[in-house]
Amino acid sequence: MILKKYFYVVLILLALTTFGVVGAFAEEAVQQAAQKGPSLDEIVSVNKIALDTIWVLITAFLVFWMNAGFALVESGLCRAKNTVNILAKNFIVFAISSIAFYIIGWGIMFGDGNPFFGIQGLFLLTGADNSPATGDAYKGVYSAINWTGVPLYAKFFFQLVFAGTAATIVSGAVAERIKFISFIIFSFVIVGIIYPITGHWIWGGGWLAKMGMFDFAGSTVVHSIGGWAALAGVIVLGPRIGKYTKDGKVKPIPGHNMSTATLGALILWLGWFGFNPGSTMAADANAIARVALTTNTAAAAATLTATITAWLMLGKPDLSMILNGTLAGLVAITAPCAFVSVPSSLIIGLIAGVIVVLAVVMFDKLLLDDPVGALSVHLINGTFGTFALGLFAEDRFMPGTTGNGLFFGGTKLLIAQITGIIGVGVFTFLISIVAWYIIKAVVGLRVSEEEEIIGLDIGEHGVEAYHIVGGEERI
């Protein structure tokens, strides 16, 4: 058992160093812009590039910061005895994403290729590229993302933090029972392969993009994908011991630290101001201001309706439901944020907040044990948001892109949206099921019953998260 563990970590280590060394002596793709004696004209456009780049980087930092949000929400809503494990998962997942997306993910997603995946410039960002040149001036192999005039590394970094999010979503749903090593492996797979493939379909110029599907900041590309992979994981893993009685009744397992969970949700809310407005990938004043406002309005509205729904339906304003409500609003507005009006964003948020509460209850009815509500937030509302874009989009905001949604006279868009939802869902769910089963067969998926009872902290990491009570540390 122990040896098996070693074997795999050594494998990873080898792979990493190999790729590192290979990469180190591969030619770098980024063209250094020659800058001697610039004309006024050039300075202006350098200013524009710099402006766009700092916007892209700063918003990317905000999205990176969401890792802290996910870590705290998940650990806060789970039990103290699994805290170290959850924190470790959430912490290491971004490191894994960084490497996996660098090695292969980016190339599959944005490399020129066929409608299903990228083929050129596949590994280590080594394809030809003359960013920040845009449009026709762009000569390189990552042409699907040539619309933004920032350096390649800025594009990569921004996309990387998004890729990291998808894996993190899975973490929450499979918490408190998955083996550490198995989660690590799945994270490599989702960020290196699964996410980039469907990402290619929509953002990489693939078949859904061609069909006219839109997803501004990733309700589907990021959130639903994470959600489908999580659903597969939840099914393969089964519920935590003690979550459901034999006759299917729910026995709540309360979160151990609502302070950190709430802080986490606030971090996510903040991070979303990077996620959505940053997805312009350019400092377009009107667009970013509008996106910031639609994002916030949906979040606020969903917070209120989730509160009210929980209060009326369940009897009390459950804080964990309030937090889920906000996140639901944020996920739902992610696809449509740039294409809809502020009042529309308000309505989308109002609905999302109700949906998420119902979804949490529903998943429990289905005995699908999702400790943090990741499915209700990311899968259900990612889907809802993608759909809502087909209803509420208005052509006037980004003329020549989405066209109008159903409520404003268009139908084509909605059909494309539904196709995207189904296509991505079926593919991601199936490939994830396969991935989970392979991991299960090879290294196993779930910790032992004894370890689950005593806690994964002691089992997987040999340490406890808290020594807070006065005398304890003196014992």
Partner 1 sequence: MKKIEAIIKPFKLDEVKDELNKVGVQGITVSEVKGFGRQKGHTELYRGAEYVVDFLPKVKLEIIVTDDVAEKVVQTIMNTAKTGRIGDGKIFVSNLEDAIRIRTGERGKDAI
The site partner of 133 among a second copy, partner 1, none (C-beta below 5 to 8 Å per kind) is none
Q: How far apart are CA 323 and CA 333, in angstroms?
A: 16
Distance, in Å, from the CA atom of 420 to the CA atom of 18, rounded to the nearest integer, reads 37
The first and second tokens of residue 406, run together, are 């159903």
d(CA 93, CA 75): 14
Please select the residue that binds partner 1; options are 360, 389, 393, 424, rule is CB under 8 A. 360
State the Rg of the chain over Cα. 22
Among 361, 398, 433, 443, binds partner 1 (CB under 8 A): 361
80 binds partner 1 (CB under 8 A): no
Contact with a second copy (CB under 8 A): which of 115, 238, 317, 444? 317
For position 267 contacting a second copy by CB under 8 A, the verdict is yes
For position 474 contacting partner 1 by CB under 8 A, the verdict is: yes
* Residue whose token pair is 């996106």: 291
Q: Would you count residue 63 as binding a second copy (CB under 8 A)?
A: no
Spatial separation of the C-alpha atoms in residues 475 and 418, rounded to whole Å:
60
What is the SS3 assignment for 469? coil
Cβ proximity to a second copy: between 57 and 375 the closer is 57
Q: How many residues bind partner 1 (CB under 8 A)?
A: 32
- List, as one string, the DSSP characters of 389-423: HHHH--TTTSTTSS---GGGT--HHHHHHHHHHHH
For the bound state, the minimum distance from the C-beta of residue 314 to partner 1, rounded and expressed in Å, comes to 5
Query: Within positions 301 to 340, which residues make up the interface with partner 1, using CB under 8 A?
Result: 310, 313-316, 318, 320-321
The span from the first CA to the last CA of the chain, in angstroms, equals: 33
Identity at 364, one-letter amino acid code: D
**Min dist. Cβ of residue 169 to a second copy (A):** 17
**CB 405 within 8 Å of CB 394:** yes
- Smallest distance, partner 1 to C-beta of residue 221, A: 28
Interaction residues for partner 1, span 430-459 (CB under 8 A): 453-454, 458
Using the rule CB under 8 A, is 246 a contact of partner 1? no
Contact partner, 393, from partner 1, a second copy, none, Cβ < 5-8 Å per class: none
Site residues for a second copy, 157-176, by CB under 8 A, read 157, 160
SS3 204: coil
Give the up-direction half-sphere exposure of residue 242: CA atoms within 13 A in the CB hemisphere: 10
**Is the Cβ–Cβ distance between 164 and 67 less than 8 Å?**
yes
Nearest one of 130, 148, 162, 146 to 287, comparing CA atoms: 148
Q: Which does 321 bind (CB under 5 to 8 A by kind): a second copy, partner 1, none?
A: partner 1
The site partner of 99 among a second copy, partner 1, none (C-beta below 5 to 8 Å per kind) is: a second copy
CA distances 343 to 156, 219, 306, Å, are 33, 19, 18
Helix (H, G, I), strand (E, B) or coil at 465: coil
Contact region for a second copy (CB under 8 A) — 223-231, 299-307, 378-386, 432-440? 299-307
CA–CA dist 154, 132 (Å, integer): 10
Site for partner 1 in 252-281 (CB under 8 A): 252-255
By CB under 8 A, tell whether 388 contacts a second copy: no
Which positions from 364 to 403 touch partner 1 by CB under 8 A, shown as an x/- string? x--------x------------------------------
Least spacing, CB of residue 254 vs partner 1, in Å: 5
**470 lies in the site for a second copy, by CB under 8 A:** yes
250 binds, among partner 1, a second copy, none (CB under 5 to 8 A by kind): partner 1
DSSP 241: T
DSSP H stretches of helix in 203-241? 207-211, 225-237
Among residues 128, 137, 241, 289, the one that binds a second copy under rule CB under 8 A: 289
Q: From the list a second copy, partner 1, none, which binds 360 (C-beta under 5 to 8 Å, kind-based)?
A: partner 1
257 binds, among a second copy, partner 1, none (CB under 5 to 8 A by kind): a second copy
Handedness of CA 110, 112, 113, 116 (dihedral sign): positive
Binding site for partner 1 (CB under 8 A): 250-255, 310, 313-316, 318, 320-321, 357, 360-361, 364, 373, 453-454, 458, 461-464, 469-472, 474-475
